[in-house]
Amino acid sequence: MIAAPGPFPSLPSRILRAATRAAIGRIVGEDQVPEDPSRYRPHVSVAYALCKEAGRPATARRGDPLVMAGRAVNASRGVHYCRRVAEFRAHIGVHYGFLEIADDQSWGRTDWPNVFFGRRPTGLIATSPGEVFLITGRHTGTVGFTVRVDDGDPGPDLEGFEDVVEVPFEASRSELRLIQWAGEKSHALPRLSAGPGSYRMRYHCRGMDDAGNSSWDHHAVVDEYLLQIWPSPAAQPATLKVTSREGHRRILES
């Protein structure tokens, strides 16, 4: 039995109880459903809502209305209104080539030089409970930074970014802040979708090689970053893509 993580009020308990991997696979029309099928909850939810609106039975047998509706929703891949996605986007000042993310109670607890340089399998991001350390290509200046909090895995943007890595993160609180050098300024991020607990962070980097050129004006945005966050059981860090020289250097040094 696979229980959908977090509340999803549009699905009654009887549908959740039936949400085995096999049933979800039939509903969305895919043979292989991952161990954590939370990414499919929106499709199953919309399928159920459509059947309820039409007064049709909602089961998970092949050929019934729920299956047909779920496959249609899954095929469209364009249904975003049923997913909780929140975004922070800004130009952020960096010093010494890094940024931090933490909750108010956890910030400053971690000895990052020892943690980051001792065990950083992705080379670009490291985490400890309640805290995150992120490398940037720009040593001092302005970077473009986006954080998206989702209730399921949104999938990586492998075409839009040069380097993509991901790590597990244990959140102590729902509220996180993006923190600039020495805490001189911080920015509130969207609340974590499932409260404190286990999450996955996927860090996308673009323009790190160009940003290493010190001739750039400090206010020019050369490198950009996207951090995706969603609830997920703890799993090993992973490197999905590394094409920049800086990304390769960071990983080789880790």
Better-scored residue on pLDDT, 55 or 220: 220
- From 12, 68, 7, 13, select the one nearest 43 (Cα to Cα): 68
- Distances in Å between the Cα of 22 and the Cα atoms of 49, 60, 98, 191, 220 are 20, 9, 43, 32, 50
pLDDT greater than 50 at residue 76: no
Domains of the chain and CATH, by start: 13-76 (no CATH), 85-253 (2.60.34.30)
pLDDT greater than 50 at residue 8: no
The predicted pLDDT at position 9 comes to 37
What is the per-residue pLDDT across 150-165, written as a single tens digit (0 to 9) for each?
999 999 999 999 999 9
φ and ψ of 46, to 5 deg: -65, -40
